[in-house]
């Protein structure tokens, strides 16, 4: 494999890992201070609510951040081949992160600033996150490695909603800022709430569609390889 092909193959993984780790550390940092003054517009209110809701926010942020960081390394074929034990233990930690962060989402979803639309978006995301994680775990326990990898692709696409959420927030806020005075009467919080309501769906629905396209492409490629092997043996 020449350098150009190697770069093309490694670039998507490198970009994914870079964005995942950057967003994970940036997202966790405000909560690591345990100072509500550092929370963002969407989460600052949790400091004035019940201790259970605040604890749910911390669990969601920290456990989800850990999963976001670990995820890219689970797709490295060299790591799986050379360090299978490490791969398995990282997978366990990853899935535990999904479990805790996903369950915590059910604590923090009610009463979000984005209203019912945003609440439903987060609850659906959390449900699919837990479901795809369970299917990934169930299939690897059954020895179905290829099916396990397909579910992991879907699951990590949902994990990456933490990345796409922030990208979409930046894009949509940037497009709405020129209308801040005329449409929102210079009320940035009103602008943020409207954008956040949309982003709670944009953050994960396109990700899941792309993941399914990747899964189907993998299946098509593997099928073609299988046909070629059969033809060669005939």
Report yes or no: 57 and 34 within 8 Å, Cβ to Cβ. no
Determine the pLDDT at residue 184. 86
Q: Which domain holds residue 17?
A: 3-233
Whether the per-residue pLDDT at 1 is higher than 60: the answer is: no
Distances (CA, A) of 169 to 81, 124, 161: 38, 19, 12
Report yes or no: 174 and 188 within 8 Å, Cβ to Cβ. no
* Residue length of the chain: 234
90-128 pLDDT, tens per residue?
999 999 999 999 999 999 998 888 889 999 999 999 999
Q: Which residues of 178-205 are buried (b: 16+ CB within 10 A; e: fewer)?
A: eeeeeebeeeeeebbbbbbbbbbbbbbb
Phi first, then psi, for residue 109 (nearest 5°) are: -65, -45
Q: Say how many domains are in the chain.
A: 1
52 CB neighbour count, 10 Å cutoff: 10
> With bands split at pLDDT 50, 70 and 90, how would you rate the model's confidence at 20?
very high
> With bands split at pLDDT 50, 70 and 90, how would you rate the model's confidence at 65?
very high
- Residue 158 CA to residue 20 CA, distance in Å, equals 12
Determine the pLDDT at residue 8. 60
The tokens of 182 are what?
A: 């005329």
123-153 pLDDT, tens per residue?
999 999 999 999 999 999 999 999 999 999 9
Whether the per-residue pLDDT at 200 is higher than 70: the answer is: yes
The tokens of 183 are what?
A: 């449409």
DSSP string, 17-74: HHHHHHHHHHHHHHHHTT-GGGS-TTTGGGGGS-HHHHHHHHHHHHHHHHHHHHGGGG
Of 105, 121, 106, 94, the closest CA to residue 203 belongs to 121
């Amino acid at each position: 494999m020449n350098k150009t092909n190697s770069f093309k193959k490694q670039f998507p993984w490198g970009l994914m890992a870079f964005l995942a780790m950057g967003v994970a550390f940036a997202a966790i940092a405000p909560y690591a201070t345990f100072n509500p003054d550092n929370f963002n517009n969407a989460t600052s209110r949790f400091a004035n609510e019940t201790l259970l809701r605040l604890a749910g926010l911390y669990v969601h942020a920290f456990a989800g951040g850990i999963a976001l960081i670990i995820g890219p390394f689970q797709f490295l074929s060299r790591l799986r081949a050379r360090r299978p034990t490490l791969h398995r233990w990282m997978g366990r930690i990853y899935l535990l992160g999904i479990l805790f962060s996903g369950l915590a989402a059910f604590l923090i979803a009610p009463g979000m600033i984005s209203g019912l639309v945003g609440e439903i978006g987060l609850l659906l995301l959390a449900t699919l996150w837990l479901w795809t994680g369970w299917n990934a775990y169930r299939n690897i326990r059954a020895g179905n490695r290829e099916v396990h990898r397909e579910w992991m692709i879907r699951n990590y696409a949902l994990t990456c909603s933490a990345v796409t959420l922030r990208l979409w927030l930046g894009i949509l806020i940037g497009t709405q800022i020129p209308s801040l005075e005329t449409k929102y009467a210079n009320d940035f919080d009103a602008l943020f709430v409207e954008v956040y309501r949309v982003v709670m769906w944009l953050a994960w629905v396109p990700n899941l569609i792309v993941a399914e396209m990747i899964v189907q492409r993998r299946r098509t490629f593997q099928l073609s390889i299988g046909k070629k092997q059969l033809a060669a043996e005939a």
